[in-house]
Structures are given as C-alpha cells and as structure tokens.
Amino acid sequence: MRLQGRKIAILISDGYHDHEFWFPYYRFLEEGADVMVAGPHVRTVHGEGRHGKDGLPAEVTHTVEQAAAWGPEVVYLPGGIFAPLELRAHQPTLELVGEAVEDGRIVAAICHAQWILVSAGVVGGRRITCPRDMSDDVTNAGGVFVDEPCVRDGNIITAVYFGHLPEQFRVLMPAILEASA
C-alpha cells in the first residue's frame, strides 16, 4: 500500500483505450491510492474496444472541475483516439493538466493522450515519447520527440502504448513516492 492516501485523478471519456485505463486504475487502487475517475461529464463511458466491438464501460464519477478542486497529486491520462480528442478540446482539462505540470505534480500520459499535453501547452522543451504517428504534433509544439517506450522529463512521464504500461509504472511509482516524500 505504498500510495496510501495519495490522490490520483484519471481523466477519461468515450473512446478511452481499455487497457490504458483499467491497468492504471487497478494498480493505483492496489497500492492504496484514492482514485477519482473524472471527465467532461458524469456518466458511463465506453472504451474503444477492438474489432468493431464496444469496449468496457467505466463510470466517470466526477467532472474535471471537481477533480481540479480536489487537488490530485497525480493526473493520469489514458490514451485511445476519441477520448484524448474530446479531452484536448475541453478547457477545464487543459487547465487542470497545465496547472498540475506548473505546480510540479506528476502528470503521466500514454499513447494518444499526449495530444492533451500538446493542447495544454506543456510539452515545450520537454522530452516526450508517443506513437510515431503523432511525433510531429509533439515537435511542432516545441517538444523533443524521443523514440523510446517510456520517458520521464521532470514531472511528466509518457509512454507509447499499452504494451509499455509495466515499464511506465516502473518509472511512475517511484516518481509518485519521490514527489510525496
């Protein structure tokens, strides 16, 4: 229970990547964290699924505005395609992510959730990994694209895709503990 009492917000919407939400969600709970699932609206959302099938449902229990007021120590951004597209156009999400980075809180993103980092204006001068199909987005926003499975640049931790979740968590967990010490 290394994360006992740590406040972690996971931001999702419809079209989140199933693995990239559920793996972190249960890892954080397993370690004793207080986890808030937030999004633009309180509702049931669905993962993107595969092969034309609906993904798993998840409950968004709080709005992003409520998450911001709660003051999470960590903001985790799962990927997918449609969820990051919605979240990157949602001003309260961009404000929460921007303020978290500015305050030195841990912000972790995986796969296409790096679009949210780009739109929040926090990648400038930072080393960021992401899927190659969005590396131009990172470099055009002033970031430094690094073609590695997981990259930590200060309080921002990025990974390429769900297959790199174990590697991301080997970097993320010590970073959370270090930030909380």
Q: Is 51 a catalytic residue?
A: no
Phi/psi class of residue 91: alpha, beta or left (left: φ > 0; alpha: ψ in -120 to 50)?
alpha
99: enclosing H helix or E strand = helix 91-103
Whole-angstrom distance, CA of residue 166 vs CA of residue 40: 28
SS3 of 1, please? Answer: coil
Place of tokens 């992401």: 130
The answer for residues whose C-beta is within 8 angstroms of residue 50's C-beta and 6 or more apart is: none
DSSP state of 161: S
Active-site residue, from 17, 19, 112, 164: 112
Enzyme catalytic residues: 112
